[in-house]
Structure 1
Amino acid sequence: MAFEDDAFERMHKIMTDGRSAMMENMNRVHRGEPAVMRELAVKGERTPSQLADATGNSPGRISAILSALEKKGWATRTIDPENRRHVIVRITPEGKRLVKLHKQAMDDRMRWVFGQMGERRTEQFLDLLARFITYMSLCGPDDPVPDEAAIAKAFERTGIPYDPAADRVNVTPITAHNTSGGRHPGGMPDDTPSPTHPAA
């Protein structure tokens, strides 16, 4: 197995391990009550459907979350006077206060993690994360595999020096990956003739 295949498998396991306490915490933050309250605090009044779209929850799940928030006094639901078929959700002052406290707690925990990692590893992590995200910005499912000029331009936009790894692979742009009869290797329909799995 090539190193990039092994790296992909390792990253996938790290990010999707259902037993991971970190992933459970992240799911609560990004899809549960904290996510809804944060959306309301940032965007102001919203409809339940807007909250469902923004947080990745089903309408039924959003309804349950809003009921819980109302009981705790953290959000309110009222009928839109201009369209009585619509419900308007607003965060309460107490809800805003709790969002602020929650953000501070999460920031403090992230700082704790960096403290545990130490300055050297933290700097390495942030540098590599910035580079990873820059490469990923070029990897849309329908985008062509970027050439050297496109990669360099992406790094220039982000203000990161473009320093290609000495041991990198897949340097030559790949023109096609689809050999599965009109379907992506993962089973998704292929609607375009463009490369299906670009690799930077």
Structure 2
Amino acid sequence: MHIWSRIDRLGRLLADRRKAAFQSHGIEGWEFDVLAALRRAGEPHTLTPGQLLKETFVTSGTMTNRVDRLAARGLVTRTTDPKDRRAVLVAITPAGLALVDAALESLVTVERELLAGLGDDDTARLADDLRRLLQQD
């Protein structure tokens, strides 16, 4: 139980720190998730709503609401796919790109701080141990 209790506490600590990092940029975790998925897509940072669903693991209704809210903030745009007029493309705007990059920088800083007490060998061993644990699932 001591392992699972520590993993649970660590998960809550990480969630709290991530939330604070995102709030310092005026975004919520779900906004970061959508913007980061578009960022990871590479130039031109565009995905279909279906692709966004696969990247963020939410329902289509939830994704529609999220894209609407991000579009209202000027962080994404919605356009018709020139290859298929029935399809929609969601693209990150320059403002959205700047925001997700800044939030990512803050997130990486927070995550580094959480691991600061571990050396490189300890960090590598922990990553390996966690990978093996997750592969059992």
**Pairwise TM-score range, normalised by the shorter structure:** 0.7 to 0.9
* Alpha-carbon distance in 1 for matches of 2:17, 2:86: 35
Matches within 5 A, 1:89-100: 89-100=90-101
Q: Which residue of 1 aligns with 2:118?
A: 122
- Corresponding residue to 1:10 among 5, 23, 48: 5
* Structure with the greater alpha carbon radius of gyration: 1
1:23 aligns with 2:1: no
1:84 paired to 2:85:
yes
Structure number with higher helix proportion? 2
Aligned CA RMSD, in angstroms, stands at 2.7
Q: Matched residue pairs, number?
A: 125
Alignment of 1:101 with 2:102, yes or no, is yes
Distance 1:107 1:134, change over 3 A: closer
Instruction: Kindly indicate whether the alpha-carbon contact (under 8 Å) linking 2:17 and 2:110 is maintained by their aligned counterparts in 1.
Output: no
State how far apart, in whole Å, the 2-side matches of 1:52 and 1:25 are. 25
The AA in structure 2 aligned to 1:39 is A
Amino acid at match of 1:126: T
* CA gap 1:70/1:46 in 2 versus in 1, 3 angstroms: same
Deviation digits for residues 76-133 of structure 1 (CA, Å, limit 9, x no counterpart): 0011132222110111111111111111111222333345xxxxx3227514413313
1:131 correspondence with 2:122: no
Show CA shifts across 1:137-188 (max 9, x none): 652x5xxxxxxxxxxxxxxxxxxxxxxxxxxxxxxxxxxxxxxxxxxxxxxx
Alpha-carbon distance in 2 for matches of 1:107, 1:13: 21
CA distance in 2, matches of 1:72, 1:138: 39
Structure with the greater relative contact order (CA < 8 A, sep ≥ 6): 1 or 2? 2
SS of aligned partner of 1:122: coil
- Unpaired segments ≥5 residues, structure 1: 1-5, 116-120, 142-200
Q: Distance in 1 between matches of 2:129 and 2:37?
A: 27
What is the SS of the residue equivalent to 2:118?
helix
Separation (CA, whole Å) in 1 of partners of 2:18 and 2:90 = 24
Deviation at 1:62, TM superposition (A): 0.9
Q: CA deviation at 1:136?
A: 2.9
Matches within 5 A, 1:1-200: 6-11=1-6, 13-14=8-9, 20=12, 22-23=14-15, 29=29, 32-43=30-41, 44-115=45-116, 121-123=117-119, 125-136=122-133, 139=136, 141=137
Higher strand share: 2
Q: Which runs of 5+ in 2 are unaligned?
A: 20-27
Whether contact under 8 Å (2:38, 2:92) holds in the other structure is yes
**Identity of matched residues, %:** 23
Runs of 4+ aligned structure 1 residues displaced above 4 Å come to 24-28
